[in-house]
Structure 1
């Protein structure tokens, strides 16, 4: 599967345009199901609306949602967004601000909050909340106000936000030069034999599932990615680890840990929402399902963030407590491993 995704805008509307080339091994599949496999947050209703509006093309011909995509087909879809100004409208959403001064702030993002507006997430994002808190924010190269870096929707933890253009440039350079400090706490499936280690491997989109990233060990595709890990606690069928990022690629920790056979606990996108390690006992199955309910997301928290302050040039480091859902899940595994050895 080769794919290209672009965004287009004019004065009145924001559009999202996707283009895919079905691979040689593509079995006949309805175009609506095909698109749902490859576009994040593309609901069946959204695809149906695009089809009704004549905004789905295969080989440059408008098709209905029941068209069967075949090998070699070029599939294009255009989604209409609300006006751009609406996407970036201020919203009175509470923020957990850890630190703030005249040029930056550090926020502790809860799990479930999307960082910036986009297809399927038009409001309720961190950016909407920031724009209510701060009247003017500088924009980065992707036109996203204040953002120096980001974390996934269902990952909790610390983010630094720039309030001035100078601060954004200074902070962005630190992230680019790999001098910023980012440490995460993760709960992964399986017992990691090594006490510590490093995962290296270029990361790019998965060739068959465009919603996933994957590792290209030979470095022939994607971008360099380096993750250092350290075992904090062995809990039987799962391991609690600390991960330090040397680079910051999309889904980096999630992809790297899966690559070495230790998918994050309850990471639905990468298969961690299934019982990957353990026994076949029904009591164990019930235990894991209850743990999934306690932590209904991937077990990942951005705990530590460090950088040089753009004005004072002093090193600053911030730490956040584990959120309740992750802490409770870890405690549940501690109890289970203690009493089932």
Structure 2
């Protein structure tokens, strides 16, 4: 169970007329964006008459007192083993996953996965709660993931994935330098019987994969890239980097022969999507891990 310290009151607001909680908080401009206000509710730092409230549509009446409390900086309120919760509402939960943690279970690892950790976390608050996978990150890839908390939400998002997901960006450190420094890689991917992906620069009947890249910084041996996915194929970035002769640092499976930071240098740093319920544009960013930054010093 996560511990929270909410004793410090940041704001005290008096309700003058009947309203719903979310509308009231937006009207009072307690935060700059709708998403930020929702995060306050998700983190249980909003109280109505001294009672913590998370429901957006909580009915307020004239005379109610709404207080906004502060989370202790060292409370690790959103920290779970291997991941950090960035956002949560009744439909979705967005997390920042650490490297070395599987997204979902495999034949050899059943328990310690992002899925199982989130499932345990949700059940600690509601034994009937469930979590549903929307997409995956490789074990050695860190960064942003979104899960559904309802099967209908999962099905809706997956059915309209190309519309729902507006941006998926990664940071990678690759071996060598790209020429040109910025550009687009288009290839066709297929998987062999050993579950290894292959990439062809010409259409061979495989799945078309498109990745836009931009060099952020480079030295004599390595380059840091921002990669924006136009398509989301299995191991897309990894196999395309191998194909063009610049594998991702630490990616032994796809051609790298060096591993100075004991992990693959790939991080999902930006995720933008349309909320399936509210239709709002949701934007999340995750900082580049220190070990990856230190590689480029």
Counterparts of 1:197-212 in structure 2 under 5 Å? 197-206=183-192, 210-212=194-196
Q: Which residue of 2 aligns with 1:244?
A: 228
Instruction: Report if the CA contact (8 A) 2:242-2:254 is conserved.
Output: yes
Q: Which residue of 1 aligns with 2:152?
A: 166
Which of these residues, 108, 122, 128, is aligned with residue 116 of structure 2? 128
Q: Which residue of 1 aligns with 2:89?
A: 101
Shift of 1:221: 3.4
Q: Which residue of 2 aligns with 1:296?
A: 262
Q: Which residue of 1 aligns with 2:272?
A: 306
Q: Give, in whole Å, the separation in 1 of the partners of 2:159 and 2:195.
A: 28
Instruction: Report if the CA contact (8 A) 2:188-2:200 is conserved.
Output: yes
Q: Give, in whole Å, the separation in 1 of the partners of 2:268 and 2:129.
A: 23
Shift of 1:261: 1.5
The structure whose residues are more often helix, as a share, is 1
Instruction: Report if the CA contact (8 A) 2:82-2:98 is conserved.
Output: no
Q: Which residue of 2 aligns with 1:9?
A: none
Q: Give the secondary-structure state (helix, strand or coil) at the position aligned to 1:180.
A: strand
Shift of 1:94: 5.8
Instruction: Report if the CA contact (8 A) 2:83-2:98 is conserved.
Output: no
What are structure 1's unaligned runs of at least 5 residues?
1-91, 139-144, 275-291, 332-341
Q: Give, in whole Å, the separation in 2 of the partners of 1:330 and 1:194.
A: 19
Which of these residues, 302, 306, 327, is aligned with residue 293 of structure 2? 327
What are structure 2's unaligned runs of at least 5 residues?
1-79
Q: Give the secondary-structure state (helix, strand or coil) at the position aligned to 2:143.
A: strand
1:265 aligns with 2:249: yes
Shift of 1:206: 4.1
Shift of 1:183: 0.2
The structure whose residues are more often strand, as a share, is 2
Counterparts of 1:115-194 in structure 2 under 5 Å? 115-135=103-123, 136=128, 145-177=131-163, 179-194=165-180
Cα-Cα RMSD: 2.0
Q: Give the secondary-structure state (helix, strand or coil) at the position aligned to 1:128.
A: helix
